[in-house]
Chains A and B, each alone.
Chain A
Amino acid sequence: MTNLKYDEREEVKKLLVLATLAGRLMLKSGAETYRVEDTVIRICQSRKDIQHVDAFVIPTGIFISLEFKGELISYIKRVKTISIDLNKISLVNEFSRTFVSTHMSIEDGIKEIKRINKISIYSNIIKSLFGAIASGFFCLLFQGTILDFLGAFIVSFIVSFLLNSISKLKLTFFLDKFIGSVFISILSYFLIKLGLGDSLDKVIIGSIMPLVPGVAITNAIRDTMSGDFLSGLSRGMEAIFSALAIAFGVGIVLFFS
């Protein structure tokens, strides 16, 4: 079985781990399916003697196999949570280009991927603030008044901050969105009572915008249209159930109010 040198095999295995880690990081950050497949295949093919690389990527996992001197090696990695992080997608993209075109060692590559994984450019407060800005201006975009703007801004700031803290508990996306929308509707209801905001509908719609699965819906259809049916289906389910969680949350509060 082993006419291969031990070192060589270990080296190829490490390359495979590096490719999977890079792919998983991209997938976790919400990259498109084809981009992840491209990156993984490109990283694997960059070293010599490797043949028949293929990758199968869906939003919940990565499967790679390759042939090295007549031996098949494969690797599987599950991906659980997806939260959009464009900075990481861009960094991994750049990394894969430099890795393929230079003679960077595989250990350095793995270290680099781990470093990228830890980067977060905005603090919790800044993100909540911009989430609030997004919600407030969305409210205005849908013909809200200046009071609606203020209401959505306050509600969204508080709830974004709360959700960022909750996300450390690693509940499922369904519970996260449900809790978020319950808090949004309760806060909006009281703010309207206090006179901050004219129409409850507009304040709620503005504030739930950061929770709404807009990107998931569009990506689902985009994947399906480009032939990645399984990815499309998986993202579509995420979108439908996110919308359901939000509607449940708002619906329950509005029912009791």
Chain B
Amino acid sequence: MEIFKQFIFSFMSTIGFAVLFNSPKNSVIYAGLVGAIGWMLYYITFMATNNYVAATFLGALTVGLLGEALARKNKKPATLYITAGIIPLVPGAGAYYTMLHLIENDFSSAAAKGVETLFIAAAISTGIIISSIFSKSIKRVRQKD
């Protein structure tokens, strides 16, 4: 039940962001699905391992692979699906807390939050870079045949 709820919530918030980012109308729903499935993987991995970075990495990898697959299918750039799709994973709250701790003169909390935010952002970027390299090499192998 909780998983189902999480799916709906992440789906809706990704759709919201897709419209905020001016996604074309026919890709809004796809972006929502990509975001929700990515978040599902994050949620399940996080429940199993309690590790933010690993969970974020898997989530972002899923978002990247799905985005590339949809891009191939609809002949559109993959960013259309990926930019909004990673939003639930993005450490926005982390960045905000880091700066808030800094303002409150609480430097050790700020450093802890800041490093965590940076690692999560790095995990997202790595996931997306790996998925795009993966899809490029598939393309190359297919062209050779």
Contact = CB atoms under 8 A, between A and B. Distances in A.
Interface in B81-133: 83-84, 86-88, 90-93, 95-96, 98-100, 102-104, 117-118, 121-122, 124-126, 128-129
Nearest to A31: B79
B98 A214 contact: no
B129 A225 contact: yes
Given A88-B22, A246-B96, A218 B121 contact: yes
A214 B87 contact: yes
B124 A218 contact: yes
A209 interface: yes
| Interface SS majority for chain A | helix
A88 B83 CA distance: 14
A222 B125 contact: yes
Q: Name which of A87, A120, A137, A220 has the most chain B CB atoms within 10 A of its CB.
A: A137
A131 B79 contact: no
Interface stretch (A49-57, A58-66, A102-110, A122-130): A122-130
Q: Is chain B's binding surface mostly helix, strand, loop or mixed?
A: helix
Given A205-B93, A213-B95, A250-B100, A140 B9 contact: yes
A126 B118 CA distance: 33
Given A130-B15, A215-B90, A247 B22 contact: no
A226 B21 contact: no
Given A86-B83, A212-B96, A141 B22 contact: no
A210 B96 contact: no
B98 A217 contact: no
B103 A247 contact: yes
A218 B126 contact: no
Given A86-B84, A208-B96, A214-B87, 18 more contacts: A86-B83, A122-B19, A127-B19, A127-B20, A134-B14, A134-B20, A136-B12, A137-B10, A138-B13, A212-B92, A212-B93, A214-B90, A214-B91, A218-B128, A243-B98, A247-B100, A250-B100, A251-B100
The 6 residue pairs across chains A and B that have the minimum distance between CB atoms: A134-B16, A214-B90, A247-B99, A212-B92, A130-B19, A137-B13
